[in-house]
A and B are shown apart, each in its own frame.
Chain A
């Protein structure tokens, strides 16, 4: 347990001191200024636009942070042979679990602080709504799933560029999976529909883990929906973690 905590701590420090983290934070602050401008431009629905643009910004910056920071950090560990040092002291499962948990922690703190800054902007613009903050919880679950996917590709592939691109493609596919299903169901081709149905079932259903469109209109799904969302995300994260451990245990890195 102490070793796991050390790995978490080391990775957390490393990632938060990284220039990618600083870059993303700077970009987010810049983006908030852009949100205010968008709000000013949308007479009649300024509040909604401001809330929505802010949430979208938080989500996209967190995803960018996670994908780039995790992948590049993982490959840096490999290239600088720090990975060898780690693995000579801790088990492979402990190392990978620690790294994943460190990024979960980073996501938590990033969402917390960006949520606070976002709330302040909303408050000063008279657009604050606690419902908008409720949308941060499913966002957290969604991004933890993205961490799992990023970790799989980082462990599996030997090139950081390939790992980055693969993660982005899977993320986009999981975002648009529901739309792809709709398109295929319009065509009424049973084989293609069944095939896509299967893919959609295994891809993370990001459309189900999203309440942004409701929250910006001061609406919120039922408590039961939140419970189901949490259970679904929990099982999915466990599934990704197992795949991660399986790959990492077998892969030869040095």
Chain B
């Protein structure tokens, strides 16, 4: 074999080795450059992309999902949950975005009842969004007409807005639906009291008392009637005092001193009634929710 041939064979044998080394160098360079480029894109080369908050019309999604409708509902439900964490400067736009996703999820699968809670209650943080929460819950309540929690959440939103009579209306509606918790009935007199309608609260409680058989429950309701009656009679006497002397009494004992009541009635919940000078209302020292605070 000539020298020339041997040299050529050696070159040929070297070649794959050189190629491998070159390949490795290129591979290592790629391995280094890919994460570098990625971080450059993330930090340095940001394109000002405007996010499009688009939810496809629900009827189209329904048509296109075939037998996978329920799965698409899940995806929109998850999208709604993730949207709650999105950083959107405009609060109302974010509320709208979250609600549209949950609305689509509910239309596709009405049994995703927690969607009502997230889109109607959790997302509502200020007055405008609470109102949007109410609209959302009312708009979608027809999908779950027997679900007691939906009117309860609407009532809760009205309660947050300070519209106690509307809250009572929805709590009443919720309390009549299957599976409703008893606190929905018990809480209503407190709301009548908050709304300054203690007499309506007494009427409501008396009708409730007639529908109850359980002795313990009857006892609790009777206690509440007694409590509201105390407030009601004291408020009537305060109104008479104001009509007669032109101002509010300094405290409830003043009414006794002026002979308008024989004595301050006993507060069945313990620490006694007092007159709130700012609002002119009689309040209980235990606060407005002596029994239902935890449940509410």
Contacts and interface: CB of A to CB of B under 8 A. Distances in A.
B74 interface: yes
A53 B77 CA distance: 13
B99 to A, nearest CB: 16
Given A48-B112, A213-B109, A42 B74 contact: yes
B63 A45 contact: no
B111 A217 contact: yes
B182 interface: no
Interface residues of B, number: 21
Interface stretch (B64-72, B186-194, B244-252, B256-264): B64-72
A43 B66 contact: no
Given A48-B74, A52-B74, A175 B81 contact: no
B269 interface: no
A37 B229 CA distance: 56
B117 A44 contact: yes
Interface in B238-285: none
B81 A43 contact: yes
Interface in A137-193: 172, 175-176, 178-180, 182-183
B68 to A, nearest CB: 6
A38 interface: yes
B86 interface: no
B84 to A, nearest CB: 10
B118 A179 contact: no
B219 interface: no
A41 interface: yes
**Interface bin, chain A:** 20 to 34
Nearest to B82: A41
B74 A38 contact: yes
Contacts of B68: 56, 175, 212
A210 B63 contact: no
A32 interface: no
Given A41-B82, A48-B112, A213 B70 contact: yes
B240 to A, nearest CB: 53
A245 B41 CA distance: 59
Contacts of B70: 52, 212-213, 216
A206 interface: yes
A65 interface: no
Contacts of A79: none
Contacts of B117: 44
A109 B141 CA distance: 43
A189 to B, nearest CB: 17
Interface of A: 38, 41-45, 48-49, 52-53, 56, 172, 175-176, 178-180, 182-183, 206-207, 210, 212-213, 216-217
Interface of B: 62-64, 66-71, 74, 77-78, 81-82, 109, 111-112, 114-115, 117-118
The 10 closest A-B pairs by CB, nearest first: A44-B114, A175-B66, A213-B70, A210-B67, A179-B63, A49-B74, A56-B71, A41-B78, A176-B66, A42-B78
Given A41-B78, A52-B71, A176-B64, 13 more contacts: A42-B81, A45-B74, A48-B112, A53-B74, A56-B71, A172-B66, A176-B63, A178-B66, A206-B66, A212-B70, A213-B67, A213-B109, A216-B70
